């Protein structure tokens, strides 16, 4: 036996003899140890420390994981760079008061480096997940000699600091696991960059990958998903001693973690859903193409809802004309009129931006906003300024020097930025009265001229309209919210060739709008072609509406529009192909419905809910679908849902919540009562349709045409009677009984009944529905819904039937299995 093995064996024997170590304790002293097979458990049983082997690896690591979660979710690893190859690992406190991890083969594999030794040191695993060392006589002190929170791995927990201790030079930075078998650091890291204006930056290797944008007193300017919400709250501490970000959950019973994923290069925020027995992802960064660092070059602005996403800031132009029609503006943009500081420049305010990369910034946090502008104006090298704290009227000062890069338009949030421009581009302050005196006579002259030519325009309008509707549509004839929408235009011959001349073999289905065909483009890409029939109630207006809307929507639970074709009398939409067709293809057919067990159906319910949250509150405009139903929920190859068919959708401004129409469109059986009877629609109309969809998914029965020999009620009425009688399980599709989580299904029925309440104000918002689906919070009891009796309606097509009638911040989620 060599000397190292002899010493190790004797050390183990002595510690075992004198340790008095017992399982399920949260603390050990210099007379105790943790060997492979034994663990520390925090006082409330939340976290556990011990040895483990990740994935399929046989290597042993000392780590901390959640005690009560069945999916092993490791949040910290001590020896991530130095694995142990056997089960002889031993954690002790040595004579100098340091934690030391030993193994027979490798000797010391990991240790803490506490310079000043402690008398009677004690190691404790806290319920926060923090492993700490302190002096035994300081049991109530928050001052630790050492703590694992100062040396994070890939996971950030509530209360952990991400950033710097300027007194010691400690940089608390996250680094992803290389893979699920190897916890050693990968090349994906996140930390606080100590620029003059600090920022949180994710890196791939040494290259910047994503920025959050600096903290502005309320939020990170470039990350609206980190704005105040009902689940967690962020804070950013920036003083002479420390610079760090920290988050906390508002409900202390909620289990939450933020971790880096090397495979997807994402930072992902999860909460544990006990009923689902899985982790639910509530946020992730990057979320879209515009989160990529410096996507559009100097003075380019990335707009995720545009195609291409890279634009030039107003009053700027592309450096190269070749960039006008590409997906990138990497060479960037330049001012349309050059600066001339000696003759005097000015500043123009740009709204709602992720402010530029702060590497070349200067900050004075005590300066007033007025002083900030003056400081930038006096320095010809200063290209932009903004307050560092936007609360109140704004205070503090951040200046930028050199080119402005990595700018993004933030739909809900962002920050105002003042950019130096040529004086000729800036509105002169003292010339308003002169402008009015000049403009008014000119305006009168113009109006007179317009009246003169209006007759000619009216006469030619009819022939012009006929010409436009019977020729190939141009980019500028597809209008969305007052802006040109850049949509790929397909030639009719190309579509005909892709669908084998619209053969019956390629036909996927038939709706009130017309048939849908499967096709394959020359490059092998599969497409679905929605061909509007001449008799379709969806005319050119609805068609353009669908193109304009879907082109601007980007969400994992919304179908992706590839382009369109208008040629002669043909009007077609080209979508991504969904190999599993639509939801109604499965749930209403006995054989195929067996393929949708409860986990898949629950995932579909959650996915549709997330898609509606995006439409109702996270997209640029508030969008009401107005025709949500099973046939308009498409399924991809993994049975993930995507909402489709936006021909009937309506958009609202940010402060508008409801509307009224004399033309009620949609599908019987899914319409909210206030919409079907009075033509009133709102986001709560979609909530009603969602409630019907939930009840259909759970029962496997259609609301419209539902028959029960015991009564004449429709599906809503049947569900309500069973709920009232305390027999909700009788509603469940018999095919789900082996796979379903009973409490989860009952909660789904409960939510479905809340969504179909008679009065819109009694229905929850879709963001509330998402939280209800993902939590165990107690729900209010539903009232008796309306439309309980099956109504005898005129026979119509099974799709979009139409009739003329007189009549916090919360976060998208997805369920994933965590490590």
Give per-residue pLDDT as tens, 673-722. 887 777 788 889 999 999 999 999 999 998 876 656 555 578 898 899 89
- C-alpha to C-alpha distance for 691 and 686, rounded to whole angstroms: 9
Q: pLDDT digit string (tens) for 719-746?
A: 998 998 889 989 999 988 788 888 899 9
- CATH number of the 291-430 domain: 3.50.4.10
**pLDDT confidence of residue 623:** 87
pLDDT (average), residues 506-522:
83
φ, ψ dihedrals at 658, nearest 5°: -150, 165
Size (the chain), residues: 819
Query: First CA to last CA across the chain, in angstroms?
Result: 40
Taking 70 as the threshold, does the pLDDT of residue 210 lie above it?
yes
Would you list the DSSP string of 369-403? HHHHHHHHHH-TTEEEEE-SB-STT-EEEEEEES-
pLDDT of residue 535: 56
Q: What mean pLDDT is predicted for residues 137-147?
A: 74
Write the pLDDT tens digit of every residue in 455-486: 444 444 443 343 333 333 333 334 333 334 45
CATH 2.90.10.10 describes domain 1-151: yes
DSSP letter (8 states) at residue 614:
I
Active site residue 627: yes
Angle at 342 between CA 338 and CA 343, to 5 degrees: 75
Quote the DSSP letter at residue 617: I
Over the stretch 248-286, which tens digit does the pLDDT of each residue have? Answer: 998 888 899 999 999 989 999 998 888 778 888 888 888
The average pLDDT across 100-122 equals 86
For residue 811, is pLDDT > 50? Answer: no
Is the pLDDT at 454 greater than 70? The verdict is no
Close Cβ partners of 82 (under 8 Å, ≥ 6 residues apart): 106, 109, 110
CATH 3.30.200.20 intervals, the chain: 476-576
Whole-angstrom Cα distance, residue 603 to residue 587? 14
Half-sphere exposure of 612 (CA within 13 A, CB side): 32
Q: How confident is the model at residue 797 (pLDDT cuts 50, 70, 90)?
A: very low
What pLDDT is attached to residue 241?
Answer: 95
Q: Judge if pTM exceeds 0.95.
A: no
pLDDT band at 807 (very low <50, low <70, confident <90, very high): very low
User: pLDDT band at residue 655, thresholds of 50, 70 and 90?
Assistant: very low
> By percentage, how much of the chain surpasses pLDDT 70?
78
Phi–psi pair at 632, nearest 5 degrees: -100, 15
- Mean pLDDT for 140-156 is 88
Planar angle of CA 759, 765, 770, nearest 5 degrees: 135
Going by C-beta distance under 8 Å and a sequence separation of 6 or more, which residues neighbour residue 386? 355, 398, 415, 416, 417, 418
Strand 680-682 to 658-660 pairing: antiparallel
Residue 424 pLDDT: 86
Residue 351, H or E segment = strand 345-354
Question: In 445-569, which ranges are E strands?
Answer: 479-480, 483-484, 488-489, 507-511, 514-520, 526-531, 561-567
Residues 50, 132: Cα–Cα separation, whole Å:
15
Q: What does each C-alpha distance from 515 to 189, 510, 572, 718 come to in angstroms?
A: 49, 4, 10, 34
Residue 205 has pLDDT above 50, yes or no: yes
- pLDDT at position 9 is 45
Q: At what angle do helices 598-613 and 742-755 cross, to 10 degrees?
A: 30
More confident of the two residues 322 and 533:
533
In which region does residue 196 sit, left (phi positive, over 0), alpha (psi from -120 to 50) or beta (all else)?
alpha
Contact of 475 with 484, CB cutoff 8 Å: yes
Which ranges in the chain are annotated with CATH 2.90.10.10?
1-151
DSSP label of 618: I
pLDDT at 813: 37
* Region 173-180 average pLDDT: 96
Write the class of the CATH domain 584-816.
mainly alpha
Residues of the chain with CATH 3.50.4.10: 291-430
Q: Which residue has the higher pLDDT, 620 or 726?
A: 726
Of the CA atoms within 13 Å of residue 614, those in its CB half-sphere come to 21
State the chain's mean pLDDT as an integer.
81
Q: Dihedrals φ, ψ of 402, to 5°?
A: 85, -170
Residue 447 structure tokens: 């109006």
- Taking the C-alpha atoms of residue 466 and residue 628, their distance in angstroms, rounded to an integer, is 33
Q: How far apart are CA 339 and CA 798, in angstroms?
A: 63
Interval 361-397: pLDDT, tens: 999 999 999 999 999 999 999 999 999 998 877 789 9
Q: Give the rounded percent of residues in the chain with a pLDDT score beyond 90.
A: 44
Confidence of residue 139 (pLDDT cuts 50, 70, 90): low
Handedness of CA 614, 767, 625, 746 (dihedral sign): positive
**Lowest-confidence pick of 35-49, 89-103, 321-335, 709-723:** 321-335
Span of 103-107, 215-219, 620-624 with lowest mean pLDDT: 620-624
Residue 109: count of CB within 10 angstroms of its CB: 21
Give the tens place of pLDDT for each residue, 282-316. 888 888 888 999 989 999 999 887 778 888 999 99
Q: Which of 653, 568, 640 is nearest to 611 (CA)?
A: 640
Confidence check: pLDDT of 200 > 50: yes
- For residue 184, name the pLDDT band (cuts at 50, 70, 90): very high
Considering just the CA atoms, what is the radius of gyration of the chain in Å? 31
118: how many CB neighbours lie within 10 A of its CB?
Answer: 19
Class level of CATH domain 476-576: alpha beta
Residues 518-540: pLDDT tens digits? Answer: 999 888 889 999 888 765 555 66
Distance of CA 669 to the CA centre of its chain: 31
Contact call for residues 333 and 318 (beta carbons, < 8 A): yes
Task: Choose, from 199, 627, 686, 810, the residue flagged as catalytic.
Answer: 627
> Of 149, 143, 15, 17, nearest to 91 (Cα)?
15
Q: Which of 247, 225, 268, 283 is nearest to 73 (CA)?
A: 268
pLDDT of residue 306: 78
Q: Which residue has the tokens 């946090």?
A: 365
Helix (H) or strand (E) holding 149: none
């Amino acid at each position: 036996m060599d000397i190292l093995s002899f010493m190790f064996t004797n050390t183990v024997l002595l510690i075992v003899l004198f340790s008095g170590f017992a399982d399920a304790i949260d603390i050990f002293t210099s007379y105790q140890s943790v060997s492979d097979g034994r663990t520390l458990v925090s006082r409330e049983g939340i976290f556990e420390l011990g040895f483990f082997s990740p994935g399929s690896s046989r290597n042993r690591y000392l780590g901390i994981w959640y005690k009560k979660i069945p999916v092993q979710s490791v949040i910290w690893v001590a020896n991530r760079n130095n694995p142990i190859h056997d089960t002889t690992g031993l954690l002790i406190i040595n004579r100098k008061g340091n934690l030391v991890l030993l193994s027979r083969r490798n000797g010391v594999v990991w240790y803490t480096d506490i310079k000043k030794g402690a008398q009677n040191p004690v190691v404790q695993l806290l319920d926060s997940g923090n492993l700490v060392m302190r002096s035994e006589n300081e049991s109530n002190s928050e001052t630790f000699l050492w703590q694992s929170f100062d040396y994070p791995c890939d996971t950030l927990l509530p209360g952990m600091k991400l950033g710097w201790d300027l007194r010691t030079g400690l940089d608390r930075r996250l680094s992803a696991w290389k893979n699920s078998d190897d916890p050693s650091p990968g090349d994906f890291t996140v930390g606080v960059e100590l620029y003059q204006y600090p920022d949180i930056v994710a890196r791939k290797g040494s290259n910047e990958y994503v920025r959050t944008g600096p903290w502005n007193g309320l939020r990170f300017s470039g990350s609206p998903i980190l704005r105040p919400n009902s689940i967690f709250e962020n804070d950013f501490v920036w003083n002479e001693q420390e610079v760090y970000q920290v988050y906390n959950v508002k409900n202390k019973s909620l289990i939450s973690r933020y971790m880096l994923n090397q495979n997807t290069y994402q930072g992902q925020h999860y909460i544990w859903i006990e009923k689902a027995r899985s982790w639910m992802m509530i946020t992730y960064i990057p979320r879209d193409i515009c989160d990529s660092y410096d996507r559009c070059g100097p003075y380019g602005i990335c707009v995720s809802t545009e195609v291409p996403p890279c634009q030039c800031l107003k009053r700027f132009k592309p450096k190269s004309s070749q960039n006008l029609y590409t997906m990138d503006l990497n060479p960037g943009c330049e001012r349309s009129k050059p600066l001339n500081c000696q003759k005097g420049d000015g500043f123009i305010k740009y709204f709602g931006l992720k402010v530029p990369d702060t590497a070349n910034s200067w900050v004075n946090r005590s300066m007033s906003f007025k002083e900030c502008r003056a400081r930038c104006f006096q320095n010809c090298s200063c290209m932009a300024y903004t307050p560092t704290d936007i609360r109140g009227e704004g205070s503090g000062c951040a200046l930028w020097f050199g080119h402005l890069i990595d700018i993004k338009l933030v739909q809900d949030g962002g920050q105002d930025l003042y950019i130096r421009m040529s004086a000729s581009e800036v509105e002169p302050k003292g010339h308003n009265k002169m402008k009015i005196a000049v403009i008014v006579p000119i305006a009168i002259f113009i109006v007179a001229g317009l009246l003169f030519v209006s007759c000619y325009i009216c006469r030619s309008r009819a022939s012009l309209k006929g010409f436009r509707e019977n020729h190939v549509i141009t980019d500028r004839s597809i209008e969305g919210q007052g802006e040109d929408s850049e949509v790929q235009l397909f030639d009719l011959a190309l579509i005909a060739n892709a669908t084998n001349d619209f053969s019956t073999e390629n036909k996927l289905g038939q709706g009130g709008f017309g048939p849908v065909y499967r096709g394959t483009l020359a490059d092998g890409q599969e497409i679905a072609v929605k061909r509007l029939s001449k008799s379709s109630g969806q005319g050119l207006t609805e068609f353009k509406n669908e193109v304009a809307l879907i082109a601007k929507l980007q969400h994992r639970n919304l179908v992706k529009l590839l382009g369109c074709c208008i040629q002669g009398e043909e009007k077609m939409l080209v979508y991504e192909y969904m190999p599993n067709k639509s939801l109604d293809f499965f749930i209403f057919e006995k054989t195929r419905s067996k393929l949708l067990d409860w986990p898949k159906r629950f995932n579909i319910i959650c996915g549709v809910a997330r898609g509606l949250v995006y439409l109702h509150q996270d997209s640029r405009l508030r969008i009401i679908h107005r025709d949500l139903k099973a046939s308009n929920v498409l399924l991809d190859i993994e049975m993930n849902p995507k909402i489709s068919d936006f021909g009937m959708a309506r958009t609202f401004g940010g402060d508008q919540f409801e509307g009224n129409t004399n033309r009620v469109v949609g599908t019987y059986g899914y319409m909210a009562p206030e919409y079907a009877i009075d033509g009133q629609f709102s986001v709560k109309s979609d909530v009603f349709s969602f409630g019907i969809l939930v009840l259909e998914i759970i029962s496997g029965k259609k609301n419209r045409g539902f028959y029960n020999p015991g009564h004449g009620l429709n599906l809503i009425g049947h569900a309500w009677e069973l709920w009232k009688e305390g027999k909700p399980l009788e509603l469940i599709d018999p095919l789900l009984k082996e796979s379903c989580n009973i409490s989860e299904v009952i909660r789904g029925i409960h939510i479905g009944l809340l969504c179909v309440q008679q009065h819109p104000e009694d229905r929850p918002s879709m963001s509330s529905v998402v939280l209800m689906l993902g939590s165990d919070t107690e729900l209010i009891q539903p009232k008796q819904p309306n439309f309980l009796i099956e109504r005898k309606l005129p026979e119509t097509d099974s799709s979009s039937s139409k009739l003329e009638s007189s009549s916090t911040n919360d976060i998208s989620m997805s369920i994933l299995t965590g490590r």
